[in-house]
Chains A and B, each alone.
Chain A
């Protein structure tokens, strides 16, 4: 059975900032909005282990840090392994009486899509398999952004990146986005969810839940990248919202196998409205847009089947 906590309102989000300004994330960065509210939702009793990635390089420019939590960086591929070690150390310290047995400390690993979908995948799988009490959060900006927009396993179909260029032969990325939630759910984790920076109260509720639940939990966060997606920095939240309204992104959670869409969309907007705000999709022809629309329709159908009713409606122009 799923636990149904009180749905928070915007006024439930704590005023206190646990993520300092002065970090070097780009103007209008989606991940910056995510990190602000993730840290608020975690509260103070958490230890964060971070993979190499945009957030890591921009928040810990030596000798300063934007983090107020105990925070550890190891490498690109092993945030999940590092977090597993931290969690095991906490257990040992409790056993030896170094820290009180009832002290609740959640270990949180944060990685980008490169550090999660590609480079850190086996460490993540090991962490989930060993049932560590760790929350893993991936902020997915759909390419290797801080090194100069190289494609990753998370890059969506037809998106331009510097390694999937657009020309006579190539039309951007030709492989569909990897289904990371599917991979994680195959490990039968107690809780996994998707979040989006335009829906902060939903994000807040899910991070709280993921912290409370014992065992490995996972959150997949949509994270617009203003230079990498070629979007106006002012439109980060607009693009995030459109992703949900068009069905490109679906906010859902899976708790002990029970699937629930948390942001139902009775009337979907055409996917074109989401694509046309982004320079990385500027080259798309009408046929290519129609193809992406079909792919989204199929995914929506799959989700509706999982839920057992139409939670994401048809496209209404």
Chain B
């Protein structure tokens, strides 16, 4: 008795990924030893951290914010810590020095 092998036409096509952007299932936060923290009071909403983040993990929100000194902003930048790898580019590039890299504790 020889086993009936499947023909090539019944094999599923190899290495086809049908879910675009599915790496979101893979959280890269545990790569991080330093954690960026945005000081919303100091942030001048310049968009540069959002621009340069290699992970695209700084989120631009249409969320109004008023500082203690009364400055009104229509946008807020927040970090999605699920993917931030802690590279520190955002803190390095922030012109207002509003981002601090603090030690990550888990």
Residues in chain A within 8 A of chain B (CB atoms): 10-11, 13, 15, 17, 19-25, 27-30, 32-33, 36-37, 59-69, 197, 200, 226, 232-238
Contact = CB atoms under 8 A, between A and B. Distances in A.
Contacts of A29: 54
B54 A28 contact: yes
B27 A19 contact: no
Given A28-B89, A64-B22, A68-B20, A236 B27 contact: no
Interface of B: 15, 17, 19-28, 31, 47-48, 51-57, 60, 80, 82-83, 85-89, 91-93, 101
| A-B pairs, 6 with minimum CB distance | A234-B88, A22-B23, A32-B54, A28-B87, A20-B21, A21-B83
Given A20-B23, A22-B27, A197-B52, 10 more contacts: A22-B26, A22-B28, A23-B28, A27-B86, A33-B52, A65-B19, A66-B21, A68-B21, A226-B87, A235-B92
A27 B87 contact: yes
B87 to A, nearest CB: 4
A20 B22 contact: yes
B28 A11 contact: no
A53 to B, nearest CB: 16
A238 B24 contact: no
A133 B103 CA distance: 49
B25 A62 contact: no
Contacts of B25: 22, 64
A197 B92 CA distance: 15
A67 B23 CA distance: 9
B92 A25 contact: no
A71 to B, nearest CB: 8
A32 B80 CA distance: 17
Contact of A236 (B24, B54, B57): B54
Nearest to B48: A10
A234 B94 CA distance: 12
| Chain B interface, >50% SS class | loop
Given A60-B17, A233-B88, A234-B88, A65 B60 contact: no
Chain A CB within 10 A, most for which of B57, B80, B92:
B92
A27 B23 contact: no
Contacts of B20: 20, 65, 67-69
A64 B15 contact: no
B22 A233 contact: no
B26 A36 contact: no
A29 B56 CA distance: 12
A33 B54 contact: yes
12 contacts: A20-B23, A21-B82, A22-B26, A33-B53, A60-B17, A62-B17, A63-B22, A64-B17, A64-B25, A65-B22, A232-B88, A235-B92
B19 A36 contact: no
A19 B83 CA distance: 13
Contact of B92 (A61, A69, A226, A237): A237
Given A21-B24, A22-B24, A22-B83, A238 B47 contact: no
A13 to B, nearest CB: 7
Nearest to B50: A15
Contacts of B47: 10-11
Contact of A28 (B15, B21, B88): B88
Contacts of B27: 22
Contacts of B19: 64-65
A237 B86 contact: no
